[in-house]
Chains A and B, each alone.
Chain A
Amino acid sequence: MVRIARPVTVDEAVEALSEEPGAQLLAGGTDFCVEVNFGHRRPPAVVALRRVDELTHREVTDEVVTLGAGVTYSDLVGPLSGVVPALTAAARSVGSPQIRNAGTIGGNLATASPAGDTLPVLAALGARVGLRGPGGERTVALEDLVTGVKRTSIRPDELIVEVAVPRVRGSQQFVKVGTRNAMVIAIASAAVVLDRDRREVRCALGSVAPVPLRVPLAEASMADAIDWERMAAPAAALTSFGEIAAEAAAPISDHRSTAAYRRRAVAVICERAMRRCLRDAG
């Protein structure tokens, strides 16, 4: 029999985790319950987080948007729509309305799938993730949280409490490729951010590497090519941005697509996302 803890505070949740090593955290269940149905996961204990109201907090300041781990995709599409536009776009691309009502941003981070839709956006924006364990809180950069395919640096006695997303002046885009027009696992995705204050381009790719992949060479070459006063760039620079990003990708071939297609898709969507960013800004 599976033991189930139903904490109502984060502290109780941490306590329950400490008491049940190997316990599975359950938020929306949109990843975990699928694994249970397929017989891939049978944890001895579950810590159910739905009653932990603290985890659904959200705060928006001029500098940063803080999202509790329990914020759902529907929250990002609805009440928080446009606060972080690329994150809204990524959330809108997840599953069906029912899945978006249940699935949470904390769950997307903790599952750490290469195809996690919010991950490239959070990586491109330099998000930091707040964790709590028996020793208290710590924060880690997204790049340090996700360490491999469905692997994270979260300790067994910790849970994700929140994610802090810096606000950036400038435009941002999220684009995702799948074989169906909705409810599809990403074959490739990209988040592109123009930071006008720092005159930086930031780009992260999804589904084409074990972890969300920043592409610094592509970012730097694009930043150099942009006329930041006019917010314009030569068409050739956009194409080159996509090509450099595609070279950095490390895609695989599987039953969803081929490495060759994924690499091509990265080039196309990075170029288009950047084109849109410049149009939005110009």
Chain B
Amino acid sequence: MARDNVVAGATSAPPGEATGTATATVAPRVGDDAPRPDGIPKATGRFAFSSDLWIDGMLWGRTLRSPHPAARVRSIDVAPALALPGVWAVLTAADVPGRPTFGLEVPDQPVLAGDVVRYHGEPVAAVAADHPETARAAAEAVIVDYEPLTPLVDPAAALGSPPIHPDGNLFRHLPIRHGDPGATGTVVVEGEYEVGMQDQAFLGPESGLAVPADDGGVDLYVATQWLHVDRDQVAASLGLPVERVRLHLAGVGGAFGGREDVSLQIHLCLLALRTGRPVKMVYSRDESFFGHVHRHPARMWYRHHATAEGDLVKIEARILLDGGAYLSSSNAVISNAACFAPGPYRVPNAVIDGYVVRTNNPPCGAMRGFGSVQVCYGHEAQMDKLAAAIGVDPVALRARNALHRGDRLVTGQVLTGAVPVREVIRAAAARPLPAPADPDGPVIARPGGAGLTADPEDITRGVGFALSIKNVAYSEGYDDYATARLRLEAGAGGEPVATVVVATAEVGQGFVTLAGQIVGEELGVERVVLAPAGTAEVGSAGSSSASRQTWVSGGALQLACAAVRAELVSRAASKWACPTDAVEVSPGALRRSDTLERAGWAELLHPPIEVEEVYHHRPTRALDADGQGDAHLAMMFAAHRAVVDVDRGLGLVRVVQVATGQDVGRALNPLQVTGQIEGGIAQGVGLAVMEEIVLDTGRVRNPSFTDYLIPTTLDMPVVDAVLVQEPEPGAPYGAKGVGEPPAISSGPAVLAAIRDATGLPLSRVPVRPADIALADPSG
């Protein structure tokens, strides 16, 4: 079936709307506040998300999921479902023609469960029918005979329990031994900390459309973060060569890590190939909570040693992450958690053990901040404890121990890039504090908000400070390269038109503006078209995650621009029969320096110039048995200062202001950087005070936006952001990533502020009202 029949959502950036239109008079440049072409359509409801995909004659898919966190599947009877009129296919594990499992790092997760289910919500069967209601009825009609098992839900018990998967219950133990393990300090503080299970809570539920193709393959239109890795997993399970599985990016409604793993991709393609019909699937909101991985819950123990003056001597830490039923990206998450367990501080000696284990809880994987978030709650609480034990200002203690360029991480890696930790501290600390709460101000602006719960005498204000460190891009030797194709041709009026072809998934991070800004910067071209992203059109861009796309896809596009320029020069040199170094290039024109002959680009663009470039960042290395090695590409730092009002009687919180200094390397689109900072802080505040997937013996109790709470306007603080710009050596344009840091230390700053307001130790997030209101004030 022809792709032209797909009438909506085939791309988040339709050709011609991508960036740089005919109305632009000057090419956008790196550093501009370039507006997003999809901004107004999204705000006004005209943007086509993947859930808007439509093709005539399509069927509707539906997934049947396990109601049990652990059970043996004795039998599955699909006959009653197939007997319903309008039902085209009911597939179970036996219908997967290729690899029966999938997974980002190791394929340990069944496409459809076989003889055992390992988490509440695990897919057991997939159905296609001619109407969504029929599909729902068919899924309900499938008879699954389960023998429920006692689920393993306590991660601390995982290692001592019988394996719940052939691969065992330990995903990874990462020990880090640095310096002298026997070193001690004169001041020692210790604590245990806990982080609940956060969800990405993206607004556009998982959705896609699979269209069977004439070559026996399939075209899949889907909202994802990484087209090529999806393609590889889909092709493996379909038993097809990758060329016959073509993925096309559909409009993405947020991701935050939750679209890195396969959800409905394989199910959709199986159904389309079985029925020979296009099949669409859209998860409901509750199904979405079962359809993607979550942020790992964490239990952490820390012991910090310092001198009497406050210099860190040693950090001991044990970190236990609950990986849930399947591996996903757990091994990389625990790597970040262990490597960054100390925070952005100079620590000469460290004994750190990170564990991530398998349980019958929902699978956990990538989410904004990726392992750095959990440990930030630990290391920042410890720094406050240490400051209190020594009797120094907690911000000063942080500055005293802050990493510098040339310092070593506890992995032994020497920091060679920009390390403006003191600068971000200073920037955040220097912002003016908000005015004291106005006793005559609106009641809904107080803790409790629209519930009108608090009078001025019920409120206490607190201030907290936190720092974070996070790496850019993938680590431990992974080559997460990116590919970019660039075509330069003459438009109808002879003006140069550049078409950028990348598989970079636009998930909100802003490559839609950056593509035009980079081409504008490098070539001065005003008209830049960003082609739809797809696996058949270009090589992999890697994932839109790990704050990496600006660096890697930006780097690939920068290389492509240089190649186009070189080809222009080469063509001019041929035309004039002169050496290439005699050709000078300016936007739209070329000049021969000795004869002053001139030519317009248009003359040289027949045929059009087309180049493809691949960008690899500096290689990283594996960690050795002691967790030592140059495992990470570059570091991002942020400081957050939170001001909160707390109603001690009811345990309710209003975050009043978050001031931040963020190390961005260089802001290529300051408007978007600010947007990333505000959005990340919303997610950080959410984890601190409300966001949690509530589990009861492995069962999800709150799979809805009624009960999984994310911040509203009344919960969102004023954000006062300072961009600290110290260009990163080796990074294209000196830019670091910006997406993750705001989601890391903002929450720990809020928690510190609540501790300041209440005097309570508060070692768990999200802080629940009862944790404050029912706390024993004596601790």
Contact A260:B774 (CB < 8 A) given known A177-B650, A177-B652, A179-B769: yes
How many angstroms from the CA of A185 to the CA of B652 in the assembled complex? 15
Closest CB-CB distance, B228 to chain A, in whole Å? Answer: 34
Asked if A38 and B455 make an inter-chain contact with CB atoms under 8 angstroms apart, the answer reads no
Q: Given A181-B448, A255-B696, A261–B774 Cβ distance below 8 Å?
A: yes
- Which chain B residues in 687-707 approach chain A with CB under 8 Å? 689-690, 694, 696, 701-702, 704, 706-707
Chain A residues 236 to 273 lying within 8 A of chain B, measured CB to CB, are: 254-258, 260-261, 264-265, 268-269, 272
A255-B453 contact in complex given A179-B768, A181-B712, A182-B713, C-beta closer than 8 Å: no
Task: Give the interface size class of chain A.
Answer: 35 or more
B710: nearest residue on chain A (CB-CB)?
Answer: A180
* C-alpha gap A258/B770 in the complex (Å): 8
A181: chain B residues within 8 A (beta carbon): 444, 447-451, 652, 654, 712, 714-715
Q: List 17 A-B contacts (CB under 8 A).
A: A37-B284, A89-B452, A93-B450, A93-B452, A175-B452, A176-B451, A177-B769, A179-B709, A181-B449, A254-B701, A257-B768, A260-B774, A264-B773, A265-B650, A265-B769, A268-B649, A268-B773
What's the least CB distance linking A51 to chain B, in Å? 26
With a cutoff of 8 Å between Cβ atoms, the chain A residues found around residue B701 in the complex are 254-255
At the interface, yes or no: A50 with Cβ under 8 Å from chain B? no
Within residues 415 to 455 of chain B, which ones have a CB less than 8 A from any CB in chain A? 444, 447-455
Asked whether A39 is an interface residue with its Cβ less than 8 Å from the other chain, the reply is yes
Residues of A within 8 A of B694 (CB): 255
B residues with CB within 8 A of A: 136, 284-286, 444, 447-455, 458, 649-652, 654, 689-690, 694, 696, 701-702, 704, 706-707, 709, 711-715, 768-770, 773-774
A264 contacts which of B136, B449, B452, B774 (Cβ < 8 Å)? Answer: B774
* B652 to chain A: closest residue by CB: A177
Q: Which of B136, B690, B707 contacts A185 (CB 8 A)?
A: B707
Interface centre among A92, A177, A181, A261, by most B CB within 10 Å?
Answer: A181
Q: A residues touching B (Cβ–Cβ < 8 Å)?
A: 34, 37-39, 89, 92-93, 96, 173-187, 189, 254-258, 260-261, 264-265, 268-269, 272, 275-276
Given A181-B715, A182-B712, A176 contacting B769 (CB threshold 8 A): no
A269 CA to B773 CA in the complex, in Å?
Answer: 12
Residues of B contacting A: mostly: loop
How distant is the Cα of A189 from the Cα of B453 in the complex, in angstroms?
A: 9
Q: A179-B690, A185-B707 are in contact. Are A272 and B455 (CB under 8 A)?
A: yes
Q: Which residues of B contact A34 (CB under 8 A)?
A: 706
Contact of A269 among B453, B702, B704, B770 (CB under 8 A): B453
Residues of A within 8 A of B649 (CB): 268, 272
A residues near B453, Cβ cutoff 8 Å = 175-177, 269, 272
Cβ contact of B451, chosen from A39, A175, A261, cutoff 8 A: A175
How far is A182 from B769 in the complex, measured between Cα atoms in Å?
15
Give A176 to B769 CA distance when docked, in angstroms.
Answer: 13
What are the 3 closest A-B residue pairs judged by CB atoms, nearest first? A181-B449, A176-B451, A255-B701
A92 to B709, CA, bound (A): 19
From A256, which residue of chain B is reached at the shortest CB distance?
B707
Contact between B706 and A185, CB atoms less than 8 A apart: yes
Closest to A174 in B: B452
Known: A37-B284, A261-B774. A180 touches B709 (CB 8 A): yes
Within the complex, what minimum Cβ distance (angstroms) separates A61 from chain B?
27
- Who on chain A is nearest to B696 by CB? A255
Shortest distance between the CB of A112 and any CB in chain B (Å)? 17
Across the interface, which residues of B come within 8 angstroms of A256, CB to CB? Answer: 707
**Nearest residue, chain A, Cβ from B701:** A255
Output the least CB separation between B67 and chain A (Å): 13
Task: Kindly state the separation between the CA atoms of A269 and B649 in the bound complex, as whole angstroms.
Answer: 9
Residues of B within 8 A of A180 (CB): 449, 690, 709, 711-712, 714-715
State the Cβ distance, B283 to closest chain A Cβ, in Å. 12
Q: Pick the most buried of B136, B444, B650, B704: most chain A CB atoms within 10 A of its CB.
A: B650
Given known contacts A257-B769, A257-B770, A275-B455, A39 and B713 CB-to-CB distance under 8 angstroms: no
